[in-house]
């Protein structure tokens, strides 16, 4: 029943293909990375005619499994030059899955300068010229498409940043409240922009839905799985109460909250921007402290943040965004950060890359540290309008560093380093260095075990055990990213014995197969190896699996430690 | 007698060291590349504390050998990320050699934000804070230093571009007429700027001069060598009459003159900018058609170009500059290009990188093709002033491409491709692809044999023999770059049997040694291998030895050919 939908933007044609045998058992990241690896020449220009943009729901997306609604998007990244997988919540994964769309592959570039919109139904894809929405923000796109096609229509869209092919442009996905979730990292919005696709609208009307091979087994496993999520202190309590922003105070306490462009590990004004403060502010202003990015999410780490007058400002207000503009840029006002978050969603830029980039721009003297209003103005007036300065900033952290000759540039493989200082949380440095995606905390979230005591404890200030920790987590994450599951299911999976077997049982019940835990581990290993082989063919070597040298030479307060792994120790990561 | 002068900009100290045994037989590129390779960590930030800037005169610099006055400068390049050697004429190489300075090594970064000037005498180097000249152009620097220290003082300096650490910033060297020659390629001016050194002044008063081991043998060989240079039709006639710009009409005729950002191979207005037109214009306006970049040059390919009123505009007005702003940017007025050349010298930017960059900027719509006045304005008002747009442009060709999402970006290893289209002159494509320096025609100038019938003939439109041709020329060039000789001695060396033996005889007579032709070839091979090993340790692989994909997909008129070497064919280059 499952099909591959394939769109050629050069010929402006679309077709529906059978699923090749070797893709049949794959979903999410495993599938997008396999397709990119098989069909995209690794040395091609990421914005040129030979790159492809691939969307695939996870193996469990569309089922009743809790937290299984993540869509994977893959391509060669214009930011990193590596293979890229970025997954997002929203409604599209479940719509695709219920329509039997195993993957949507978009190839080629239009011959003319026109813009297009794609419309996806269970019959296939239609391509239509678009002019009204060009230059518009993502919120306007969603609103207009709902007005055109109805409230239930799914939307994946790029904002002005994607139209300008900026390296930090993301792809936004409509969530159940018509707000925005993002395929954030790696500039995938630029790839969509290069193909001159402003949006992809999705009409799942009449979708056949998912067939479950063993419904009883599935139901039982799904219940055990959901209970594990709710029983875990982080997934069932910390995240729903404070959102991911619960981490501000935790990381500040640990001395691992990168502050003032990674020059120190604690932020004096951390209380102003903490999850606790945010929670109280949301309650006081009548927002929502809990909110799911997709139907079936029971962790509800998202929230709705209102302004002083109780008017909606943003949702999905993440720790990484708040850390990045807060501690890293020294902005002390949650309201400024929330306003910036809304603008970033509308422009379609990755809030992590943007925040890390602003830290470097501040170091370069483009604007002062702490200038929240300056950030808002630059987002709107420079990046949004594509001025020369906006183009510089829109190129991301590494680009700003190169433009101004800054040497303290926190990137790996040109992607901005997120919200955890590798010097004081050593395990995450291994993940940043070795991830096939460039610096990416989600690729192997050692914070769980280094800081949150999830899955045991590995001392964040010692080197012992970090490589193994990162390796195990990266393998597991690559597998989880293939199921359509949210990464936060890893917390209960690491701590509650019934959780992972229940997840595997759901996959087995869904497809009528008999995967073991080892099979899942092997899937994760295989995904990482496919991705690494792509990167190697694109020219990446062990020399790219390194943190910027300043982490070796500049000790970070309060622990006054450097990141001291040798090249040989880092390279141990790939021994599996 | 020879010494190493070493300056530490962190401690603001300088010392004089003995020459280590393994550096004793080296000079020029062989020495700078060896020092960089031994002392600079390949993965360091090029603008950070661990890069070093190395100057070394050639093995024959300072002697009476014709055309031996080239200074080599090396470092890790901020433009390419590779090792970089860029050599220049001017007076400094001969001054260094006569003072017994084997190499000047500059390491570290100052702890404060002050600017400095270095002063080199036979006793060593002194470091002094500099404020008056900061922000000033190169001509003002030379003029001021001559006023301070006397007309004979040598000067190596950076302009505003180098101060801003722009990736296309060069290092300028005073020539015998107090005008400018440049270590052009690879952003070495940015490295000097990162070390906060505005200029290096050189007082060669009391220099002991060169000791020749066998003066008679040297004199005889020098005479044979000089005669070979004068007898050769290119070195002795074409270059002195028309300068390097003799090539505009030749390459246009061959269909290999990259035009309008490498979209076609012929320029309709080629006559306006040709060497013949330039020659007549110079004569008419009372300029000089011949001019040497250093004392002892007998090829005299340089010239002095005046404006309509007979007033000096520029000298060293090269084919690559005229091609780059002319055909490649479609500017049809030699006077505009000459004015831009003067400004580029004053700002201290590489005229090749700048011209190739403007081609991409024009394709991006930053300014229209053909807009000579626009280029002049952007050089002065944007790059010179370091505006946001100026910072974008100052980052070079690849940087502009990334900033605006352009896909037709003629670079290899991020360095702009010079004045010969690899599709219609296939051999030069092998040089661009494989050179350890990024795209660099001088690294292995196959144009000699593909187009000028020097050293035989290899059909430019066929693949046969090109890899071998480029390999032989790159090996020979690496050796020649180590002698302090100008690259144009290659023309007679390839055609006149007595030339190369005379060059070797001069080296042997100078040092009292017995090098053979094979030794010289082995030196060239060894230099290339040292450089390649550095690049590999920095993370470069065969995937970086590639031309941009558009050369494979877009046929170029008039021959309608693509560059069609397979990866395997390119990689054959390194089989030696």
DSSP codes, A142-207: HHHHHHHH-TT-EEEE--HHHHTT-TTB-EEEE-TTS-EEEE-TTSHHHHHHHTTEEEEEE--TT-
Q: What length does chain B have?
A: 576
Which residue does chain A place closest to B389, by CA atoms?
A388
pLDDT digits (tens, 9 = 90+) for A296-309: 999 999 999 999 99
**Percent of chain A at pLDDT above 90?**
99
Q: What is the pLDDT of residue A431?
A: 98
* DSSP element (H, E) containing A56: strand A52-57
A405–B194 CB contact, under 8 Å: yes
Q: What angle do CA B381, B387, B389 make, to 5 degrees?
A: 90
Residue B10 has pLDDT above 90, yes or no: yes
Distance CA B316, CA B175 (A): 10
CA-to-CA dists, residue B362 to A245, B325, B406, angstroms: 45, 11, 10
Q: Is the pLDDT confidence value at A22 over 80?
A: yes
Tokens 């071998």 sit at which residue?
B468
Q: Are A436 and A423 in contact (CB under 8 A)?
A: no
Cα A13 to chain centroid distance, Å, stands at: 30
Task: Work out the average pLDDT over A54-68.
Answer: 97
**Subunit contact A402:B387, Cβ cutoff 8 A:** no
Helix (H) or strand (E) holding B17: strand B13-18
**Smallest Cα distance from A523 to chain B, Å:** 28
Cα distances from B293 to residues A430, B69, B97, in angstroms, run 52, 9, 17
Q: How far is A123 from chain B (nearest CA, A)?
A: 34
Taking residues B64-92, report their average pLDDT. Answer: 97
| Residue A537 to chain B, least CA–CA distance (Å) | 7
Could you tell me the pLDDT band of residue B332, with boundaries at 50, 70 and 90? very high
The pLDDT of B549-555, averaged and rounded, is 97
Best B81, B402, B568 member to test A by mutation, with max A CBs in 10 Å, is B402
H-run or E-run covering A273: helix A270-273
d(CA A442, CA B111): 37
Contacts of A69 (CB under 8 A, 6+ apart): A61, A89, A90, A91, A93, A94, A293, A294, A295, A296, A297, A484, A486
Instruction: Name which of B41, B361, B407 to mutate to probe chain A: the one with the most chain A Cβ atoms within 10 A of its Cβ.
Output: B407
| C-alpha A152 chain-centroid distance | 24
Q: Is B258 left (phi over 0), alpha (psi -120 to 50) or beta?
A: beta
Model-wide pTM > 0.95: yes
Residue of A nearest to B165 (CA): A405
Among A43, A166, A194, whose Cβ lies nearest the Cβ of B546?
A: A43
Mean pLDDT within B137-155: 98
Residues of A with CB under 8 A from a CB of B: 41-45, 47-50, 78, 164-167, 190, 193-194, 387-389, 391-392, 395, 399, 402-405, 407, 409, 536-544, 546, 548-550, 553
Q: How far is B134 from chain A (nearest CA, A)?
A: 17
| CA contacts within 13 A on the Cβ side of B386 | 18
Where on the phi/psi map is residue A261: left (φ > 0), alpha (ψ -120 to 50), or beta?
left
Q: Residue A1: is its pLDDT beyond 70?
A: no
Please report which confidence band the pLDDT of residue B527 belongs to, taking 50, 70 and 90 as the band edges. very high
Cβ contact B543–A538 (<8 Å)? yes
What is the average pLDDT value for chain A, to the nearest integer?
97
Is a pLDDT exceeding 90 seen at residue B344? yes
B121 — phi, psi (to 5°)?
-130, 180
Among residues B158, B169, B86, B171, the alpha carbon closest in space to that of B440 is found at B86
B471-494 pLDDT, tens digit per residue, is: 999 999 999 999 999 999 999 999
With vertex at residue A281, the alpha carbon angle to CA A280 and CA A286, rounded to the nearest 5 degrees, is 100
b (16+ CB within 10 A) / e for A321-340: bbbbbbbbbbbbbbebbbbb
Tell me the nearest-neighbour CA distance from B200 into chain A, angstroms.
Answer: 22
Write out B372-390 in H/E/C secondary structure: HHHHHHHHHHHHCCCCHHH
pLDDT over 90 (residue B1) = no
Which pLDDT band holds residue B228 (cuts at 50, 70, 90)?
very high
Residues of B within 8 A of A542 (CB-CB) are 539
Share of chain B above pLDDT 90, in %: 99
Half-sphere CA count of B85, side-chain side, radius 13 A: 35
Segment B36-65 mean pLDDT: 97
Size of interface A-B (CB pairs under 8 A): 100
CA-CA distance, A212 to B68, in Å (whole number)? 81
Point out the residue among B167, B387, B405 whose CB comes nearest to the CB of A47.
B405
Contact B48 A387 (CB under 8 A): no
- Look at residue B137 in the predicted model and tell me its pLDDT: 98
Burial class of residue B78, CB neighbours in 10 A (0-12, 13-18, 19+): buried
Q: Report the gap between the CA of A356 and the closest CA in chain B (Å).
A: 18
Give A390's contacts (C-beta < 8 A, 6+ positions apart): A378, A381, A382, A383, A384
pLDDT at A200: 98
pLDDT tens readout for residues A522-549: 999 999 999 999 999 999 999 999 999 9
Determine contact, residues B543/A42, Cβ cutoff 8 Å.
yes
Q: To the nearest 10°, the Cα dihedral for A531, A532, A535, A537?
A: -110
Mean pLDDT of B73-89: 98
pLDDT 10s digits, B390-443:
999 999 999 999 999 999 999 999 999 999 999 999 999 999 999 999 999 999
Cα B313 from Cα B576, distance rounded (Å): 46
pLDDT-based confidence at residue A35 (cuts at 50, 70, 90): very high
On the CB side of B106, how many CA atoms lie within 13 Å of its CA? 32
Which positions in chain A touch B549 (Cβ < 8 Å)? Answer: 41, 43-45, 48, 50
The HSE-up count of residue A353 (CA atoms within 13 Å, CB side) is 35
pLDDT tens readout for residues A192-234: 999 999 999 999 999 999 999 999 999 999 999 999 999 999 9
State residue A478 phi and psi, 5-degree precision.
-60, -35
Q: To the nearest whole number, what is the mean pLDDT of chain B?
A: 97
Res. B358 pLDDT band, cuts 50 70 90: very high
Q: What's the mean pLDDT in A158-185?
A: 97
Q: What is the mean pLDDT of residues B126-145?
A: 98
Residue A143: Cβ within 10 Å count: 14
Q: ipTM of the predicted structure?
A: 0.96
How buried is residue B284: exposed, middle or buried, by Cβ count under 10 Å (0-12/13-18/19+)?
A: exposed
CA distance A537 to A557: 39
Q: Do B405 and A553 touch (CB under 8 A)?
A: no
Q: At what angle do helices B466-483 and B517-537 cross, to 10 degrees?
A: 100
Contact criterion met (CB below 8 Å) for B423 and B551: yes
Q: Chain B contacts of A537, Cβ < 8 Å?
A: 543
A283-300: average pLDDT? 93
CA angle B496, B497, B499 (to 5 degrees): 70
- Contact present, A186 and A77 (Cβ < 8 Å): yes
Structure tokens at B208: 């002991």
Of B42, B190, B550, the CB nearest to A405: B190
* B401: nearest Cα among B352, B341, B351, B356: B356
How many angstroms from the chain centroid is the CA of residue A280? 27
What digits encode the pLDDT tens for the residues A92-126? 999 999 999 999 999 999 999 999 999 999 999 99
- Which chain A residues are closer than 8 Å to B550 by Cβ? 45, 48
User: Of the candidates B164, B539, B543, which has its C-beta nearest A43's C-beta?
Assistant: B543
Distant-in-sequence, close-in-space partners of A560: CB < 8 Å, separation ≥ 6: none
In angstroms, rounded to a whole number, what is the distance separating the alpha carbons of residues A543 and A541?
Answer: 5
How far is the alpha carbon of B191 from chain A, nearest alpha carbon, in Å? 10
Distance in angstroms (rounded) separating the CA atoms of residues B463 and B426: 7
Helix (H) / strand (E) containing B346: helix B334-347
Q: What is the rounded CA–CA span in Å between residue A547 and residue A540? A: 14
Region B130-151: mean pLDDT is 98
Task: Please name the residue of chain B whose CA is at the shortest distance from the CA of residue A109.
Answer: B407
Phi, psi torsion values for B70, nearest 5 degrees = -90, 135
Using DSSP's 3-state secondary structure scheme, residue A492 falls into: helix
Overall average pLDDT of the B32-41 stretch: 98
- Whose CA is closest to A404, among A389, A421, A415, A419? A389
Angle between helix axes B499-511 and B215-231 (nearest 10 degrees) is: 150
Distance CA A114, CA A130 (A): 8
Which tens digits make up the pLDDT trace of A7-17? 999 999 999 99
Q: Say whether pLDDT at B149 is over 80.
A: yes
Question: What pLDDT shows up at residue A3?
Answer: 97
DSSP of A65-121: -TT--PEEEEEE-TTTSSEEEEEE-SSHHHHHHHTTEEEEEEE---SSS--EEEEEE
Cα angle A260-A440-A500, degrees, rounded to a multiple of 5? 130
Per-residue HEC secondary structure of A392-432 comes to HHHCCHHHHHHHHCCCCCCEECCEECCCCCCCCCHHHHHHH
């Amino acid at each position: 029943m499952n099909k591959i939908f394939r769109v050629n933007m050069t010929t402006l044609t679309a077709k529906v293909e059978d699923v090749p045998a070797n893709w049949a058992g794959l979903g999410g990241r495993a599938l997008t990375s396999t397709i990119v690896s098989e069909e995209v020449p690794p040395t091609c220009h990421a914005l040129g005619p030979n790159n492809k943009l691939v969307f695939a729901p996870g193996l469990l997306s569309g089922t009743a499994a809790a937290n299984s609604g993540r869509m994977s998007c893959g391509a060669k990244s214009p930011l990193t030059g590596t293979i890229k997988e970025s997954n997002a919540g929203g409604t599209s994964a479940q719509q695709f899955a219920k329509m039997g769309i195993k993957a949507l592959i978009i190839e080629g570039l239009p011959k003319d300068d026109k813009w297009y919109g794609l419309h996806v139904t269970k019959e296939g894809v239609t391509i239509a010229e678009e002019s009204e929405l060009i230059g518009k923000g993502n919120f306007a796109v969603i609103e207009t498409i709902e007005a055109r096609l109805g409230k239930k229509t799914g939307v994946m869209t790029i904002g002005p940043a994607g139209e300008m092919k900026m390296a930090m442009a993301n792809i936004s996905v409509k969530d159940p409240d018509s707000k925005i979730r993002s395929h954030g990292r790696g500039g995938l919005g630029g790839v969509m922009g290069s193909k001159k696709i402003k949006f992809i609208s999705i009409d799942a009307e009449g979708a056949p839905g998912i067939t479950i091979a063993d419904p009883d087994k599935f139901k039982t496993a799904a219940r055990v799985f959901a209970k594990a999520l709710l029983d875990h202190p982080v997934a069932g309590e910390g995240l729903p109460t404070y959102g991911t922003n619960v981490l501000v105070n935790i990381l500040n306490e640990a001395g691992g909250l990168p502050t003032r462009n990674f020059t120190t590990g604690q932020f004096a004004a951390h209380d102003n921007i903490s999850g606790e403060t945010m929670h109280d502010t949301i309650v006081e202003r009548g927002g929502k402290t809990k909110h799911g990015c997709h139907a079936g999410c029971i962790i509800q780490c998202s929230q709705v943040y209102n302004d002083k007058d109780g008017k909606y400002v943003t949702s999905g207000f993440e720790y990484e965004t708040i850390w990045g503009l807060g501690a890293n840029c020294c902005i002390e006002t949650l309201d400024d950060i929330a306003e910036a978050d809304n603008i970033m969603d509308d422009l379609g830029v990755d809030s992590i890359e943007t925040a890390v980039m602003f830290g470097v721009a501040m170091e370069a003297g483009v604007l002062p540290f702490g200038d929240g209003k300056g950030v808002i103005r630059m987002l709107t007036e420079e990046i949004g309008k594509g001025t020369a300065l906006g183009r510089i900033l829109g190129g991301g952290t590494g680009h700003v560093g190169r433009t101004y000759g800054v040497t303290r540039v926190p990137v790996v493989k040109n992607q901005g380093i997120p919200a955890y200082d590798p010097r004081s949380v050593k395990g995450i440095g291994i993940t940043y260095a070795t991830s096939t995606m460039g610096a990416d905390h989600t690729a192997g979230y050692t914070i769980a075990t280094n800081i949150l005591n999830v899955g045991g404890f590995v001392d964040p200030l010692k080197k012992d055990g970090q490589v193994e920790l990162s390796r195990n987590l990266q393998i597991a994450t690559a597998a989880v990213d293939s199921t359509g599951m949210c990464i936060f299911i890893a917390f209960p999976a690491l701590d509650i014995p019934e959780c992972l077997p229940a997840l595997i049982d759901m996959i087995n019940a869904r497809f009528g197969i008999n995967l073991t835990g080892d099979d899942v581990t092997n899937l994760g290993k295989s995904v990482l190896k496919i991705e690494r082989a792509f990167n190697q063919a694109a020219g990446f070597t062990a020399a790219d699996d390194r943190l910027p040298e300043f982490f070796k030479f500049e000790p970070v307060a309060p622990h006054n430690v450097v990141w001291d792994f040798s090249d040989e120790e880092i390279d141990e990561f790939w021994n599996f």
